[in-house]
Each structure stands twice: as C-alpha cells, then as structure tokens.
Structure 1
Amino acid sequence: MSDSLATVTDQQTHRFERGTDGPRVILVGVDGSDSSLRAGAYAAGLARRQRALLAIVYVQPVLAAGAALGVPVAETTDAIAEDLVAQIRQAMEQSKDTFDVRWEFHTFRGDPYNGLVAAADELKADAVVVGASEQAGHRIVGSVAVRLVKAGRWPVTVVP
C-alpha cells in the first residue's frame, strides 16, 4: 500500500464520532410559543423512537433595560419556566402508558441563540430541534433557528 493511501486510511479510522447509532441526547428549545411546543412534541417523538434522552431547554432572557427600570424580570421568566415544566409534566403524565420517554428540563439565562448553543455544548446534544420563528421580522434579520443551522455544529430540525 502506498504511503499516501495509508495516511488517508489512518485518518479515516481515527475520526471522532460524537454519537452512536443514533442520537443519545436530543435537545429542544421551548419558550411557550405554539411553534416551540410543536417542536417539543416532535422532539419527544424522535427521542422515544431513538430511545434518546430528551433535553428540554428554556432560555430565560436577560432584559437589562427592564431590570434597570425596576421590572421584576427574573420573577417573570422564572414563572414562565415553572409553567412550562407544569405543562410538560402534565403532558407526560397523560401519555405515560403509551408514550414513554426519558426527559430533563433545563433553564439557561441569556439570549435564545447563545443559550441554546451553551445548552447543546453542556448537555452534549447530538441533535437540536426548535420551532420556526413566528415573528415576521426574522425573515429579514434571521431567526434563532437560522443561526443554529448556519452554526453547523449539530443536525438542526426546524418545526413549523
């Protein structure tokens, strides 16, 4: 075998593979919007079929301007997180006999894009699922989903 062929073969056999024969951790970003809840349902189905852990992530926005004006931002976003957990627990409880999936709920603080990136890195996500933006301006500026796809670090599924 020639040296160049041996080098190529060695490089191919030593590649790092994050996952196994399918994703171990599927991360889904939720914020309470209809599209994020649809993304959560879709991700739960993927996790069930792949026998993967479903990591449900809510990124609590840090609104410096609101906090400066005395608006209780932390309490508001904490309440949203608690409401999301309650909705998720209720949905899982209703479907536990027919729909068994392992799941965890995580909250991160920051802007949605950087929060989801940090979550995916920390949780070692093999796939990311998000809902399509429902805001018209995102078609011009770019949404969190588009930025995640462009990052090219994980397979990203955008649910309409």
Structure 2
Amino acid sequence: MEEHQVPAYFERGTDGPKVILAGLDGSDSSWRAAAYASGLARRQNALLALVYVQPYLAGGAALGVPVSDTDTGIAEQLLAEIRDAVARVGNTFRVRWEFHTFRGDPYNGLATAADQLTADAVVVGSSEQAGHRLVGSVAVRLVKAGKWPVTVVP
C-alpha cells in the first residue's frame, strides 16, 4: 500500500480561489482587468485584492522629494474611483474587496503582493507601452515566474 503525505506548505487552487489579485494603475487595460477579476471573485466567492504599485522615484531623494510621500495621490484617486464604482452597482453586484498599495517596480510589487496576500490568481491588463515588446511586459514576467495562474486582459 502506498503512503501519501500531505504537503506542509501553502497550496494554491485546491478548493477554488480564495484570493484573486488584480493589478491596478489607472490605465484603461488595468480597469478592464479589475472588472474581469471582480467577476471572477464574485462567482468564486473569493476576496478581490486590488493592488496599486507605487513606483520609486530613483532620483527623488537626491532632489529633496520625500520618497515616502511620492505618488500617494494616485493611490487615493484609485481608491475613490473604486468606491464610486462599488456605490454605482449597489447590491446588484456584490464582491468582497480590499485595496492595497505596494512600492517598487510593477513586477516586483505585484509579485510581492501576490506572495504576501497568498493570491490564488493574478489578473493584469495588457501593457500599453510599445517598449515592452523588447524588454518584456509585467504580465509576461509574472507568467514566466510560474508561481500563480495569470490572466492578461486586453
């Protein structure tokens, strides 16, 4: 008789997703990704984690810009837009959601968020920048990491 052991580490996707992470930066494709992820979260009764990654300003500290205060206006604006959208749909479309802000470059920020929030799936919008065809988009890098199912929304 074969003996099977239960792994002692966190398993993703065994009983359906519990946390679906959507990257949000205010672009049209990121809003579409958030809408798509919210539908998944509603149907799966999962938590929707909306994540904005605040970029570091490389020379900001040298120029006297307080690094901890950079870009907070965008996060506040995104949160206000999310709350407005939730209010518009009212009780017709209910989903549990949280908004999180991480710092860093988009790939590392989303990867850190997915790890810390134990995301079962990551949803991002397709890149709208032409240079990503040469270097690789955040979505491609997330897929290549192979740690989470990644959905790229056009």
> Partner residue of 1:155?
149
Partner of 1:112: 106
The CA RMSD over aligned residues, in Å, is 1.7
SS in 1 for 2:151: strand
1:143 aligned to 137, 143, 151, which one?
137
Alignment identity in percent?
74
**Does 2:128 match 1:134?**
yes
Note the residue ranges of structure 1 that are not aligned, 5 or more in a row: none
Rounded to whole Å, the distance in 1 between the matches of 2:80 and 2:68 is 18
Alignment of 1:61 onto 2:51: no
Counterpart of 2:15 in 1: which secondary structure? Answer: coil
TM-score of the superposed pair, with normalisation by structure 1:
0.88
Residue deviations 1:13-57 (CA, integer Å, cap 9, x gap): 534633343100000010011111110000001100111000000
Greater Rg by CA: 1
Q: For 1:114 and 1:139, how far apart are their aligned partners in 2?
A: 19
Counterpart of 1:64 in 2: which secondary structure?
coil
Query: In the aligned structure 2, how far is the partner of 1:50 from the partner of 1:96?
Result: 19
1:75-129 Cα offsets, whole Å, 9 max, x none, are 4510000000000000011112210000000001111111111101110000000
User: d(CA) in 1 for partners of 2:68 and 2:29?
Assistant: 24
Residue aligned with 1:47, SS: helix
Counterpart AA for 2:143: V
